[in-house]
Amino acid sequence: MGSTKSVIWTSYVENSDINNALIYDKYIEIKGYDSSGNSNFMPLPDPNTEQLVIPTDKTFKERKKIYWVENELGWNKNYTKLEFDDLFTYSYKDGTTFDVYQCDDQHTLTSFYVNPNDDLERARWVEIYKSDGTSINGATAVKYKIIGYGEETGEIRLQEALPEVPQNGWTYKLFKKDTVKDTYEEVVVPSPNNILGGSPLASGKLISNRNASGEVTAQYFI
**pLDDT, one tens digit for every residue, the chain (222 residues):** 456 889 999 999 888 999 999 998 999 999 999 999 999 999 988 888 888 999 999 999 999 999 999 999 988 888 999 999 899 999 999 999 999 999 999 999 999 999 988 888 777 999 999 999 999 999 999 999 999 998 888 899 999 999 999 999 999 999 999 989 999 999 999 999 999 999 999 999 998 755 544 443 333 333
Cα distance between residue 136 and residue 114, in whole Å: 17
Q: Choose among 61, 48, 13, 67: nearest CA to 207.
A: 13
How far is the C-alpha of 171 from the C-alpha of 107, rounded, in Å? 13
Cβ pair 91, 102 in contact under 8 A: no
For residue 139, the SS3 value is coil
Q: CB–CB of 145/93 below 8 Å?
A: no
The model's pTM is 0.86
Report percent pLDDT > 90 for the chain.
75
Say which DSSP state 37 is in. S
